[in-house]
């Protein structure tokens, strides 16, 4: 057989073989969930936990926040009786085992309560008070902040979004008619955000460090209620940033409940042993009532921010040419228009600041 004839037969056989089916259309990279949830997609997930909250804060016109920390292991069981239920873990939606729950009055009277349950019952009464105090303080702060004449929302009450003190803070702000933020974290056990968070400001993070960033980034003040490891972690992190001057702002830190905290940590011993400076004790203040805590917050926020912003706005307005018709208003220009120092500080504090 000649080479010419053999080549012709090969071409004829090849023409009878059908072409393979085309592959399915490839997914877009940002729609590829396998990639996004892989180790290779980690950087994109981290950036998303910065950009997505930032976009929402801008849309909701949030300028800054006041963060509330405190125990997430207690939640209200029957508000009228001020009974509390202990949760299985921090932020969990499941209750702890019955033998760990605070004893009820009938159980104590009948002698059916263990020593642990009796101690938990005593603690439950104390925590019920802190719950109500956090709720009231958040309400007082929100009512005051709503009176600040600015286009954006100032000093918005923010919590970790869970139960306990976090719920109390969001609840007080919501009842006062303000926006309130919940920065939740995804945990390996069942959990849920508390129902008082403003829907558009309900967040859930995968990375603890990104959640911490948003706690610190917008906050102008911190209120620390009694709590456990998580509360201690957040409190000392902010205090360390303030101590080392890594915060590009002044932050007011109020530690609520002296009796609790002085039993838990001995900060004076740190000064005595030379591990912190005596001036580091000025980084925070103690408060024992919602009214006292509110006055400390109002004074700090006003002196550190509102007065400085108002002075800057007045300076800018004096430098602006007289013919400004149609121009956009200077940011913060109307911050304290028509209001006096007494409106923000109160007459007592206003007198001492002059």
Q: pLDDT of 147-167, one tens digit each?
A: 999 999 999 999 999 999 999
How many CB atoms are located within 10 Å of the residue 263 CB?
10
Integer Cα distance of 303 and 140 in angstroms? 18
| Residue 3 belongs to a domain | no
pLDDT at position 107: 61
pLDDT digit string, tens, across residues 197-221: 999 999 999 999 999 999 999 999 9
Band (286; pLDDT cuts 50, 70, 90) = very high
List the CATH number of the domain containing 170. 3.40.50.450
Mean pLDDT computed over every residue of the chain: 82
Residue 286 lies in a domain: yes
In sequence order, what are the residues at sequence separation of 6 or more whose Cβ sits closer than 8 angstroms to the Cβ of residue 168? 68, 70, 130, 131, 132, 134, 135, 138
Say if 321 falls within a structural domain: no
**Which pLDDT score is estimated for 231?**
95
Q: Is the pLDDT of residue 102 over 70?
A: no
Q: DSSP for 28-76, please give it.
A: PGGG-HHHHTSGGGHHHHHHHHHHHHHHHHHHTTB--EEEEE---SEEE
Q: Say if residues 51 and 203 touch (Cβ distance below 8 Å).
A: no
Q: What is the pLDDT of residue 333?
A: 40
pLDDT at 91 > cutoff 60: no
pLDDT for res 117: 66
Token pair of 188, please? 């390996």
| Structural domain contains residue 66 | yes
Residue 100 scores a pLDDT above 70 = no
The CA-based angle 189-194-195, given to 5 degrees, is 140
Mean pLDDT of 4-25: 69
| Number of domains forming the structure of the chain | 1
Asked if residue 67 lies in contact with residue 158, where contact means CB atoms within 8 angstroms, the answer is yes
- pLDDT (average), residues 104-118: 64
Average pLDDT on 300-324 reads 82
- Does 238 reside within a domain? yes
The token duo for 12 is: 């004829």
Structural domain including 233 reads 62-308
Residue with tokens 């530690």: 255
Helix axis angle, 42-59 relative to 208-217, nearest 10°?
30
Give alpha helix (H) positions in 87-151: 105-109, 115-146
- Confidence band, pLDDT 50/70/90 cuts, at residue 330: very low
CA distances from 93 to 101, 154, 234 (A): 15, 31, 22
The structure tokens listed for 227 are: 């709590």
pLDDT single digits (tens) 227-273: 999 999 999 999 999 999 998 899 999 999 999 999 999 999 999 99
Whether residue 203 lies inside any domain: the answer is: yes
Q: Is 105 within a domain?
A: yes
Q: Residue with structure tokens 């958040």?
A: 138
Highest mean pLDDT: which of 96-105, 119-128, 161-170?
A: 161-170
**Residue 51, domain member (yes or no):** no
Owner of token pair 């007045």? 314
> pLDDT tens digits for 50-88?
999 999 999 999 999 999 999 987 655 444 344 555 544
At residue 318, the pLDDT reads 78
What is the pLDDT at residue 69? 97
């Amino acid at each position: 057989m000649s080479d010419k004839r053999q080549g012709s037969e090969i071409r004829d056989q090849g023409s009878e073989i059908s072409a393979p089916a085309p592959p399915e259309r490839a997914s877009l990279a940002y729609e590829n969930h396998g990639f996004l949830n892989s180790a290779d997609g980690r950087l994109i997930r981290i950036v998303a936990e910065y950009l997505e909250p930032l976009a929402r804060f801008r849309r909701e016109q949030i300028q800054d926040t006041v963060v509330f920390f405190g125990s997430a292991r207690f939640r209200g069981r029957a508000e009228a009786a001020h009974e509390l239920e202990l949760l299985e873990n921090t932020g969990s939606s499941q209750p702890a085992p019955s033998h760990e729950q605070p004893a009820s009055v009938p159980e104590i009277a009948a002698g059916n309560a263990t020593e642990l349950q009796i101690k938990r019952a005593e603690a439950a009464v104390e925590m019920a008070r802190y719950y109500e105090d956090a709720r009231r303080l958040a309400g007082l702060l929100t009512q005051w902040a709503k009176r600040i004449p600015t286009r954006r929302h100032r000093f918005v009450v923010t919590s970790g979004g869970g139960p306990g003190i976090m719920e109390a803070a969001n609840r007080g702000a919501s009842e006062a008619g303000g926006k309130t933020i919940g920065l939740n974290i995804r945990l390996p056990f069942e959990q849920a955000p508390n129902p008082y968070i403003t829907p558009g400001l309900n967040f859930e993070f995968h990375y603890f460090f990104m959640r911490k960033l948003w706690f610190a980034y917008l906050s102008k003040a911190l209120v620390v209620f009694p709590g456990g490891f998580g509360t201690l972690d957040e409190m000392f992190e902010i205090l360390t940033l303030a101590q080392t001057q890594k915060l590009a702002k002044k932050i007011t830190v109020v530690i609520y409940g002296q009796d609790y905290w002085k039993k838990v940590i001995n900060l004076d011993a740190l000064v005595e042993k030379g591990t912190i400076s005596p001036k580091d004790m000025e980084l925070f203040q103690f408060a024992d009532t919602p009214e006292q805590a509110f006055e400390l917050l109002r004074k700090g926020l006003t002196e550190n921010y509102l007065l400085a912003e108002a002075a800057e706005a007045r300076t800018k307005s004096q430098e602006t040419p007289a013919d400004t018709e149609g121009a956009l208003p200077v940011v913060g220009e109307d911050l304290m228009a028509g209001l006096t120092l007494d409106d923000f500080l109160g007459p007592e504090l206003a007198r001492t600041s002059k």
